[in-house]
Amino acid sequence: MEVVRVTRRRGNRLGGLLLNAATAILLTFACIQGAAAEPGPHAVTDLSRKLMQIYNDRDVAALHGLLAPALKAKYAPQTLEAVLGRCHALTGRIGRLSLPSYGQRHYGFFAVYAEAAIFEMILEIDPDERVFHWVITDDVTAKDQTCQIDRHP
């Protein structure tokens, strides 16, 4: 029986390494792009803290900056100022928020400990970690909410 020895030329090996490196780079970019399509694991909690500070400061410009693009078009700064006024009439100043009692990366349900009472807050965010639904309420089943920024018309 004759043994045939196969040898690779150096050029082919280098070509294989370059192909493997290119594949690894492409896979890395694909993973990064896939990860950007979903908020981070603490995004809802982190954004809720920012939102509480902005709410207490009545900072309309900062609130407008947290909104998803579709909501920025829907809620002009003057409209947000009116919404914040209605919210503050309902709750007063917020002392603290709970951790989410329920939720995932895109949404969370929180308890709001405010001057007036304890309320419920629902916060939903888009993949870019921008607010696209936010409500503070004492009745989550009510059709009309006093304190709400909503993506629906």
CATH no. for residue 66? Answer: 3.10.450.590
CB atoms closer than 10 angstroms to residue 149: 25
Could you list the residue range(s) of the whole structural domain that residue 98 is in?
Answer: 43-149
Domain count, the chain: 1
- The residue count of the chain comes to 153
pLDDT at 66: 95
Examine residue 95 and state whether it is found in any structural domain, yes or no.
yes
Where is pLDDT greater, at 18 or 88? 88
C-beta separation of 132 from 71 below 8 A: yes
State the pLDDT confidence band at 28, using cuts at 50, 70 and 90.
very low
Torsion of the alpha carbons at 101, 103, 106 and 107, rounded to the nearest 10: -50
Q: What is the pLDDT of residue 17?
A: 45
- Residue 31's pLDDT is what? 44
As a whole number, the mean pLDDT across the chain is 82
Domain assignment present for 38? no
72 domain residue, yes or no: yes
Mode of pairing for the β-strands spanning 94-97 and 118-125: unpaired
Which amino acid, residue 143?
K
pTM listed for this prediction: 0.72
Query: Which is higher by pLDDT, 21 or 3?
Result: 3
Q: Mapping DSSP to helix (H, G, I), strand (E, B) and coil, where does residue 47 land?
A: helix
Are 114 and 95 contacting, i.e. CB atoms less than 8 angstroms apart?
A: yes
Q: With a cut of 50, say whether residue 23 has pLDDT above it.
A: no
| 102 vs 47: which has the higher pLDDT | 47
pLDDT at 5: 60
Please check whether residue 139 lies inside any domain of the structure: yes
Q: Per the domain annotation, does 85 fall within a domain?
A: yes
